[in-house]
Structure 1
Amino acid sequence: MLQQVHSRHFQPLLGQTGSLTLPDGRCLPVRFDTLDEAPRTKMPSSERMPFSVEFNSLQSTDFVEGLCALEVPELGRLEGVFVSRIPPMGRDPSVGYFYIAFN
């Protein structure tokens, strides 16, 4: 299923809130902020353009990284999505900032 995910599926989520299901089953409310395509990293045999999605939690969280699930328009619930936490870098340190890379 993850091979069928393209950046266009995340476009409607930008600026919107959603829910990230953490590895332990808890749901974390999040807001999707950034979508970046990476055409220079595309493999010649791959149909998908690599891209990344950045989002932040809407509340404090101790979650750092792991396999999560989230709802994506047109695709429904995506399971087994690896989510990584990134440093706040001058942003509000009371919430979590996260990154998903689709290569």
Structure 2
Amino acid sequence: MLQSVKSQHFQALLGRIGTLYLPDGGTLQIHIGELEEKPLAKMRYSERMPFCVELNTLAPTEFVDGLCALELPELGRVEGIFVSRVPPMGRDPAMAYFHVTFN
């Protein structure tokens, strides 16, 4: 299923609020912030353009990283998405910021 995920699935969600399903069964409300395609990371025989997505929480959380699930247009709930926390770097330190990479 992860191989089916393309940047277009996230394009429709940019700027929206969604739910991140955490490994422990909990949920986290997230804002889907930015999407960046990475053409220089594309493998020769791969059909998918690599991309990354930035997410941020709407409330503080202790969650750091792990395999999560997200609801994506046309695909439904996609499991096994590795989400990793990144430093706030000048943003509100009370909130959490995450990065997801699809190669």
TM-score after normalising by structure 2:
0.99
CA shift for structure 1 position 43: 0.2
CA RMSD in angstroms, aligned pairs only: 0.4
SS of corresponding position for 1:8:
helix
Partner of 2:81: 81
Q: Describe the superposition over 1:48-97 as per-residue Cα deviations: whole angstroms up to 9, x where unpaired.
A: 00000001011000000000011011110010100000000000011100
Q: Describe the superposition over 1:20-58 as per-residue Cα deviations: whole angstroms up to 9, x where unpaired.
A: 011101000000000000000100010000000001011
Partner of 1:42: 42
SS of corresponding position for 2:12:
helix
Partner of 1:61: 61
The residue type paired with residue 92 of structure 1 is D
Partner of 1:26: 26
1:91 and 2:97 are equivalent in the alignment: no
Number of residue pairs aligned between Structure 1 and Structure 2: 103
Distance in 1 of aligned mates of 2:21 and 2:95: 16
Moved over 6 A (4+): none
Distance in 2 of aligned mates of 1:75 and 1:58: 25
Distance in 2 of aligned mates of 1:56 and 1:83: 11
- Of all paired residues, the percent bearing the same amino acid is 62
TM-score after normalising by structure 1:
0.99
